[in-house]
Chain A
């Protein structure tokens, strides 16, 4: 009961004296709005302490003696005693000397006006809780090191404890706090508390002036003392060249060594590197017969190849291609997969490998432009020609856009003529002889002039034309590297050679109308409509009127051109020798855009 009572009283007393003692450290600024009150009590060394007060608004109490300080210790319930020493030099200060200072004891002081017997203020504290040590002395710094770049440096700061604090005997244990900042900056960097008398500061910048100061407090107490005087730290920046010198040397030597190594490597591996970096341009097949082909090629391939040469009679091949076609038709299982028009139309069954660009040698219905049965776009041809393989699926009919949609073929009639050169099983379209036309001539510009499939009529001339064209195509197709100009040149240079004109057949266009994909492989729907020109082994069906132009439908692996029959319509525009591109000006070289495709599909 008494305990709780005392606690309650204490609580009340604290609330009253809150203004003075609520914070740990007392403030010295008197509050003018209040009456007489204590402004603070401080001890410097834990051996003496002082208290100050202010009269506040009561100006009539400012004369000395009006307000008096009484204190009481709580050790034994002693009576109130008056301040042992009113400082004469300082106004309103009460000084407790060593004999009156007891640590670990609670003091309560009162500010009274004796005349009126009023207690204006009261506060309680223990001496160790009001200790604010003096600032440390003897602050100095030494340079620890400078970074290699010369931009940073570290220093060691030293100080001595304040002389008033008896640290030696262990009476007071002090901890110190160092602060530094760039001179005239607003923010001080604070370091951790240090119980020793030195501290290192790392990472200072050269060429900047720093200010360092230190203060201390009793360990495990909260009251810091005042800061000591600041010191200035400055280290000039020294550009050091020594460190960079070996670095540059090392770099130079390293680079030289590397270069030497590279040169040695290149020279030792010259041949291999040449092959890797500068692959040989495939030689034109015209120059000779590929010995590999001779060894490994099938008869059909060989025939087609040899037929392109001068040394063989063109007549020799009259039959063979035909036979080949037939053979191919039977042998190639892939053909059967491509047998339906719808499949072609949808292009689904042929994954991108078949890059068949079906050129419908259709009429110009739906296409106002003239199609130019000139030499097909060399690039297209290049993609067409099976530099890839001679397989049917890989029949590279122009696949500019990666579309394998048969529709592609449709639109190409005007722009790119591709004559599938089929000599091989790879070319299932041989089934339909309709797709072939004879190349009658090569235009100077490199265009292919096709003649209607009058097989017997001047076959030699046609062969020549075909050969020429074929050769040209071959040239063009050999590797995708030949450009249009090269193709022109080649075409100009190549002497006409007899070729199997059977391979070129016209393909009437009108049949294309209903079928998107007539052209290549199937005769089914178009058969009845499309006359085709076969080699002399088979009598040619009704041939469409001979025109100078036809559409190259396909180029097979053997560099044979599969041509579409020329358009039966009279409105056949003369080809412009200067243009390789189709009459559609917007069409890029052999490239079909979907919108164009839409335009072309009948």
Chain B
């Protein structure tokens, strides 16, 4: 079981190697004049803390956005959809384990990469979500602001995770930015509002679930970093 998974992960990394090469995104620091200078360093723990804070905030905001959307546009009987955690979330290139035992057996590297992958997979759908939400007649401003905010925060989260990977794993991974999504965005809104509403609702639910995953992984990682013994055993 584990071997299969390890093989899968390795295959994934290898297959995406050329993609990573083609998108070199060096993290450079620039001062006021614009010239490249040595970036000020930050300790790994602090960075991890900040990344976790980002993930927590994103998760909370995603939940609030979901609630806002649900209150405005989704009729009450369909609120149960939320309990189901989304029906049509787009599948990831690799499955993420769901049980605690399995997750605890995942390596740090795996955790970080999973987080990174999750973050990157949501960048485009969120932008799409912003455009669709703008088409709603009475979308509350809070909802629009939140989705916009989340998009921005995802970018910075991605950068943080990349730096973490570089620091913790000593890997110089260049962030790939293109992922295939099973959920293709529609260019035009569907004439039937409920369908597009359902779709957006679903999107928000799936995003909330994935944000929860990110946060959980990062927290597990932190526990491992601080206190390896108690975190690994349960």
Contacts and interface: CB of A to CB of B under 8 A. Distances in A.
Q: Max chain A CB contacts within 10 Å: which of B76, B77, B80, B99?
A: B80
B220 A125 contact: no
B212 A104 contact: yes
A18 B77 contact: yes
Contacts of B78: 11, 14
Given A7-B195, A99-B99, A168-B230, A126 B209 contact: yes
Interface string A1-32: 00110110011001101100110100000000
Query: Which 5 A-B pairs give the minimum distances between C-beta atoms?
Result: A170-B219, A102-B98, A126-B85, A220-B63, A169-B223
Nearest to B81: A14
B222 A106 contact: no
A46 interface: yes
A170 B77 contact: no
Given A11-B78, A99-B99, A128-B85, A171 B216 contact: yes
Given A128-B212, A170-B220, A103 B99 contact: yes
Nearest to A171: B100
17 contacts: A14-B77, A21-B84, A22-B80, A102-B97, A102-B98, A103-B98, A105-B98, A125-B85, A129-B83, A129-B84, A130-B83, A166-B234, A169-B223, A171-B219, A219-B56, A220-B59, A220-B212
Nearest to B52: A170
Q: Max chain A CB contacts within 10 Å: which of B85, B95, B101?
A: B85
A170 B234 CA distance: 12
A10 B87 contact: yes
B220 A4 contact: no
Contacts of B100: 46-47, 98, 101, 103, 166, 171
B202 to A, nearest CB: 8
Interface string B68-93: 00000000111111111111100000
B167 interface: no
B60 interface: yes
Interface string B180-223: 00000000000000010011000000001100110110111011
B174 interface: no
A126 B87 CA distance: 11
Nearest to B184: A3
B80 A14 contact: yes
B83 to A, nearest CB: 5
B231 interface: yes
Nearest to A41: B83
Given A104-B85, A104-B213, A166-B234, 5 more contacts: A21-B84, A24-B83, A98-B101, A169-B231, A220-B60
Contacts of A24: 82-83
A104 B230 contact: no
Nearest to A17: B80
A10 B216 CA distance: 29
A130 B99 CA distance: 15
A169 B230 contact: yes
A22 B230 CA distance: 38
A73 to B, nearest CB: 9
For this complex, into which size category does the number of interface residues on chain B fall?
A: 35 or more
A26 B97 CA distance: 26
B96 interface: yes
A20 to B, nearest CB: 9
A136 B36 CA distance: 52
Interface in B15-33: none
A219 B57 CA distance: 11
A220 B85 CA distance: 13
Q: Max chain B CB contacts within 10 Å: which of A75, A102, A103, A128?
A: A103
Interface string A80-115: 000000000000000000110111111000000000
Given A14-B77, A169-B220, A170-B222, A106 B87 contact: yes
Interface string B139-154: 0000000000000000
Contact of A219 (B60, B62, B97, B199): B60
Given A106-B87, A124-B84, A22 B216 contact: no
Nearest to A15: B77
Contacts of B101: 98-99
Interface in B30-60: 56, 59-60
Contacts of B88: 3, 6-7
A173 interface: yes
Contacts of A6: 87-88
Interface string A204-236: 000000000000000111000000000000000
A219 B79 CA distance: 19
Contact of B83 (A124, A166, A168, A170): A124
B153 to A, nearest CB: 15
Contacts of A106: 84-87
A98 B208 CA distance: 23
Contacts of B87: 6-7, 10, 74, 106
A6 B81 CA distance: 13
Interface in A153-206: 166, 168-171, 173
A126 B209 CA distance: 10
Contact of A102 (B80, B99, B208, B218): B99
